[in-house]
A and B are shown apart, each in its own frame.
Chain A
Amino acid sequence: MQKVFRKLHLVILVLMLVLVLAACSSASQTVGTGETASPDDSTDTADIPSKEDTPKEVEPVSSVVDFDHELDSYIPQKDHYSFYFTYKTVHPWWDAVALGMEEAQRQFLDKGITVTYEYMAPERASADDQTKWLLQAEHENYDVIGVDVADESVISPVIDGMADAGTKVMTFSSSDAAEGCKRIAYVGNTHNYEDGAGLTEALCEKLGYKGKVAILVGSKGAPCHEDRAEGARDTIAKYSDMKIVATEYDMDSVDQAYELTLKILKDNPELDGIICCNMSNPVGAARAVKETGSSAVIVGMDHDREALRYLDEGVIYCLGVQDCYSIGFDTLQVAVKIADGNMPGELFPEKTNEITTVIYQKDAALMLELLYGDI
């Protein structure tokens, strides 16, 4: 009997061993530790500035700037072109124009046509500097010289002189020369007066056609800036309860625009609105308004990144955005045609009209993404 129990114990022991090993084998594959951040329902909502709805229907923001360009079917007569372009002042607005030009240059290169060019501007807008540069370029054997007119009264005669000497001159981007000037063609904004009038109209509507406003202008004599200021003044004049209390020129300097706005606000603490006629104006004005806590409504021009952020924050009410990229692309394309001896007509117009779109606060974020990839 004892032997039987001994055998029984042995068998049970073996079976228990099998069971333990089986259990261990299922547990032994669990290795490692890890820390997992658990999702949480809590949300930390950032303060979002209130967005005011646009008072009127505007074009979709995506169509404000056209980055999708292709050269037209014109076949250039040479395989190499050399151009000289000069514009008012070193400023990001013209850097955007430059990108359009570079795209056109790349597309010409793909077709086996080399386009080389200089794209120059002084540190500060100066008709005298521009005159000097143009006269220097005249002797450099460029196929075409392009100029964004700093002051039409000064530059137009210079252009005429160059044209009389056989130099092919065109105007481009923001400012054309004076009426009757001998430049061959203009590619750029042809509706500066209307842009100024349109922005001012939007401001008047916002203010209920009643209030004191100031006008900030860029460079004295710059046709585009002056035309916009004129459009603004004429619009204000239509409404008897609207009054212009100051007009200042920042000479395309953001810092100047800021200082001038501070001064205007100090002199006119009850200021209701500021009309900005160039790219630097709204940035400086917005800085000052935000800093002083003024309730002045700002309308302005162009696509400066900081200005768009102020628009997004609600400091600026609306901005007129020009399609700089298209201006640059079309400028180079027209320059090639002019270099080949073509004149305005079927191949290109005497004035190539480029669009300006007024965008409001609700469009700011999309515009920042579109232009600067701010996500």
Chain B
Amino acid sequence: MKKKKRITNRTFLLTAVIGSLLVIAMVTVNSIWSSNQTRLETDEAVSAVSRFYLDTMADRRAQTVSNQIDNEFNQMEKALVFIKDEKIESQEELRETLGKIKNLLSLNRFALVDQDDVVYTQYTTYTGKSRHEFLSEEKMDDRIISTVSLYGSSKQLCLAIPTPDLTIMSKPFKACFVQIDIKEIIDLLAVDDQGRTYFALYSKNGSNLSGTELGPIISDQNIFEATKEFVSEDVWKENFNRFAEDTRGSMTFSSGDVKETLCYVPIWGTGWELAVLIHESVILDQIRDISEKNLSTNRNQIAFTLLAVLFFSAVLLQELRALSKYELDAEKEASKAFQNMASTDSMTGVRNKHAYSEFENALNQEIQNREIQKLAVVVCDINGLKYINDTQGHAAGDQLIKEASTMICNYFIHGAVFRVGGDEFVVILQEKGYDTMDEVLGELNEKVEANIKENGVVVSIGSSVLQPGDQQLHDVFARADHMMYERKKELKSMGAKTREI
């Protein structure tokens, strides 16, 4: 059978300490990893959130511009209906009508164009073919939306509607149009968000149409000229093509510590791209604040948990040790009691033959090692026990044994008393018991001799001390036993009862 490994206190403590350290290390590493992962993923999440936020914002603003364009077209249609109903006969009446339209429909720069490309506004009439690009179109079938760059860098949105059925002053008119300053459109989009977002309108080649600044890096420059050095060639080309193809997209770029994300969406019919830009730091700072607070809370929780683990582990270890000790002591006590039970004579309460054998073995070792000097063996034998058993019964015999044992114990108070046979006791004397042996033996023998006359307990006693030549306790015992038999004869002569009587 395999021998079980013994678990010592040291092993237990070592296991507990290594286990605790491992748990702490795992929790710490996990916390650091989680923290770093959180930061990384927060950055990624910020990019995603930024784009989503900008996408939504760009869509809303593009929709606002589209709505404005639709509204302008609707007003122009109403203006045409109004003009048709007016029955205009002269240029003065036409100018007056255009003035009414301005007041009624808020069309500030509404103009009509006749078949000779002469433009009529509220205050001027001019030949406009070179000034308005849409007039160079051979045929106007539908609404036209175009961007006009005026001398002096002003940029305007031109909305034109063909008017095939319009005749004024007997002249056929080919179109009406309005030109809206792009800055006015930008005013519609302005939102006071404390400079967190920027937006601008761009032509397909990336030229800024609105004159608004798209953040500090791009500013009011051509969007592609400005970003060329901050993004990879692939990203740059991809976005350049998206602009040219009038599709939506997004781009993130960094310059120094500044990280910016922009989203752009086409505005239907205009050939424009509306770009919205946000400093990622704006969202990042906010998310990081929240994240840092959470991380800080988690760090505290983990630290607190670790402390709690350490504390409870220590308490548990302590309790475990205490419990183990208690159990161990209990076991020892039980073992001791069991051992005592096995070594004690149940009748007299002194140690029995088994205890004597163990004690003898232990003493033999010491005798052989010459570790012991003072050792004496006293052999006691109860006289007349058989006689009492036979004549008065075993109970009386047992009583005699008990009385004899008590008498022996009372005299040899510094000795170890063993009942080694039915009527035989051995007393081992060491140290003080050895020193007082002769005196005690004298007193005991006197008592025994007195008991012969008084019909009391009579015990034959023989004794011997350890001699230099003795190899074992039995050597001493043999001499004492021999002496005991001599004494028994002597006592018989004094009238003491013997087995034979």
Contact = CB atoms under 8 A, between A and B. Distances in A.
Nearest to A120: B127
Nearest to A369: B153
B235 interface: yes
Nearest to A122: B127
Contact of B295 (A1, A26, A90, A102): A26
Contact of A34 (B31, B44, B208): B44
Contacts of A92: 130-131, 151
A120 B323 CA distance: 114
7 smallest CB-CB distances across A and B, nearest first, come from A40-B232, A30-B41, A34-B47, A34-B48, A373-B153, A32-B45, A119-B126
Most interface-central of B31, B151, B209 (chain A CB within 10 A): B151
A91 B131 CA distance: 8
B305 A19 contact: yes
A114 interface: yes
Contact of B44 (A36, A67, A105): A36
Contacts, number: 175
B241 interface: no
Contacts of B34: 23, 26-27
A25 B125 contact: no
Interface of A: 1, 4, 8, 11, 15, 18-19, 22-23, 25-27, 29-44, 65, 67, 90-92, 94-96, 98-99, 101-102, 105, 109, 114-121, 123, 303, 305, 324-325, 369-375
A109 B123 CA distance: 10
B149 A42 contact: no
Nearest to A86: B127
Interface residues of B, number: 72
Interface string B32-63: 00110110111111111101000000000000
B130 A91 contact: yes
A325 B151 contact: yes
26 contacts: A4-B319, A8-B316, A27-B34, A33-B48, A34-B51, A37-B231, A37-B252, A39-B230, A43-B229, A44-B236, A65-B152, A92-B130, A99-B150, A115-B123, A116-B123, A116-B124, A120-B118, A120-B126, A325-B152, A371-B152, A372-B153, A373-B153, A373-B211, A375-B207, A375-B208, A375-B220
Contact of A22 (B38, B222, B291, B305): B305
B221 interface: yes
Interface string B285-309: 0000001001100100110010011
Interface in B92-120: 95, 118
B82 interface: no
B149 A120 contact: no
A34 B45 contact: yes
B254 A1 contact: no
Contacts of B207: 373-375
A42 B237 CA distance: 12
B81 interface: no
